[in-house]
Amino acid sequence: MPDLLLIGGATDAMLARMEKRFTIHRLAETDLATQGEAITHVATNGHDGVPAAVMDALPNLKMVSCYGVGYDAIDTDACLARGILVSHTPDVLNAEVATTAVMLMLALYRNLLMDDAYVRAGTWESDGNAPLSRSPDGRKVGILGLGRIGLAIAEKLRAFDADISYHTRSRKDEPYRYYGDLEEMARDVDVLICITPGGASTRHLVNRAVIDALGPEGTLINVSRGSVVDETALVAALQEGRLGWAGLDVFEDEPRVPEALFDMSNVILLPHVGSATHETRAAMGALVVDNLLDHLDSGRVRTPVPECAALNA
Ligand code: A2R
């Protein structure tokens, strides 16, 4: 059986299918110096990727299957140069990540966490009714990145009569207002939702100028990658009241989160759980294995990353 290197975890369902076709080596238990040559396939995730030292130790690597739609932790240029196919798990998580974005927006507008704390602390009984919140309905929402997930977010926000605009590098054939300039969009909207890929080309797209344009009445939601937002600028803006609210599922140095955010009641912090439901993670896991098995059977994969489309032809 071919040899597969497992970086990070895998569910029992994934392992059961992979074990039928591969000899599995877990990274932490594998001496790559002696076993690296045998390994032809890697299963990893968007967070761990494939470290350069591991890539170098696998001279016969043919394919990398990534659990997650984001693959910025995988050096696709290096993979392409060596003819290594990379697959990821697009589409199956669109609805879940979109729900996470909408959930953050609703929770921030309606004071969900503060109201829950109000009841638990007995304040309702001692002080009476909680302060009023703000309606999330009919808000102007700007989506940074109108791809598969961005479109799913726009679709879900229709239920809240959102006035939707977007910023991408190229205009899309979609019924939403396009802004070629992110700062201009940030100035015009109530809520800015980030859902581009990570990596060098989107690093700190949301900088101090964009955050200031969003302003003290504005809400920033990030369900993409921590790197898309300048976290230092974000923390400063929240501390200085230049930004109103933030809902963050991702951070620049996960799992480390700036402690300055912990005491802020206008911020909701999630541990990168955008797609983390049993149902969606099962679908992602199944696609990771489908891609591996397809590659064994045909030399092609079901869902290549765009950079590898030609290799998959
Ligand atoms: O820029 P375009 O026209 O290629 O549109 C893409 C947009 N995008 C950007 N927008 C502005 N500035 C950039 N530098 C930039 N780079 C990319 O992001 C497109 O509309 C969107 C990405 O869409 P998809 O490739 O369909 O990705 P999907 O499945 O929506 O997932 C987005 C990301 C993942 O890569 C993970 O990092 C995260 O969501 O979970």
Other beta carbons within 10 angstroms of residue 254's beta carbon come to: 12
In three-state secondary structure terms, 34 is helix
Q: Answer whether 47 contacts ligand 1 (Cβ < 6 A).
A: no
Query: Which CATH class name applies to 94-269?
Result: alpha beta
Per-residue pLDDT of the chain in tens (313 residues, 90 and over written 9) = 999 999 999 999 999 999 999 999 999 999 999 999 999 999 999 999 999 999 999 999 999 999 999 999 999 999 999 999 999 999 999 999 999 999 999 999 999 999 999 999 999 999 999 999 999 999 999 999 999 999 999 999 999 999 999 999 999 999 999 999 999 999 999 999 999 999 999 999 999 999 999 999 999 999 999 999 999 999 999 999 999 999 999 999 999 999 999 999 999 999 999 999 999 999 999 999 999 999 999 999 999 999 999 999 8
Q: Which atom of ligand 1 is nearest to the CA of 275?
A: 40
Q: Answer whether 89 contacts ligand 1 (Cβ < 6 A).
A: no
Fold of 3-91+278-308: Rossmann fold (3.40.50)
Q: Residue 62's pLDDT is what?
A: 98
Catalytic residue among 225, 231, 252, 281: 225
- In sequence order, what DSSP letters do the residues of 65-81 get, joined into one string? EEESS--TTS-HHHHHH
**Number of DSSP helices (H) and strands (E) in the chain, helices first:** 12, 12
What whole-number distance in Å separates Cα of residue 54 and Cα of residue 40?
A: 12
End-to-end CA distance of the chain: 25
Residue 97 CA to ligand 1 center (angstroms) comes to 13
Active site residue 272: yes
Both tokens assigned to 174? 């979609």
217: exposed, middle or buried (Cβ count in 10 Å: 0-12, 13-18, 19+): exposed
Q: Residue 280's pLDDT is what?
A: 98
CA 56 to chain centre: 27
Domain ranges of the chain: 3-91+278-308, 94-269
Q: Residue 64's pLDDT is what?
A: 98
Active site residue 254: yes
Q: Residue 103's pLDDT is what?
A: 98
Q: Is the distance from CB of 144 to CB of 206 less than 8 angstroms? A: yes
Sheet containing strand 163-167, edge to edge, reads 177-178, 163-167, 140-144, 191-194, 219-222, 245-248, 267-269
In eight-state DSSP terms, residue 299 is S
Residue 186 CA to ligand 1 center (angstroms) comes to 17
Q: Whose CA is closest to atom 36 on ligand 1?
A: 70
Instruction: Evaluate whether 3-91+278-308 and 94-269 have a shared fold.
Output: yes
Residue 58 CA to ligand 1 center (angstroms) comes to 30
What whole-number distance in Å separates Cα of residue 41 and Cα of residue 60?
A: 9
- Mutate which of 174, 196, 225, 287 for ligand 1? The one with the most ligand atoms within 8 Å of its CB, which is 196
Q: Is the distance from CB of 223 to CB of 105 less than 8 angstroms? A: no
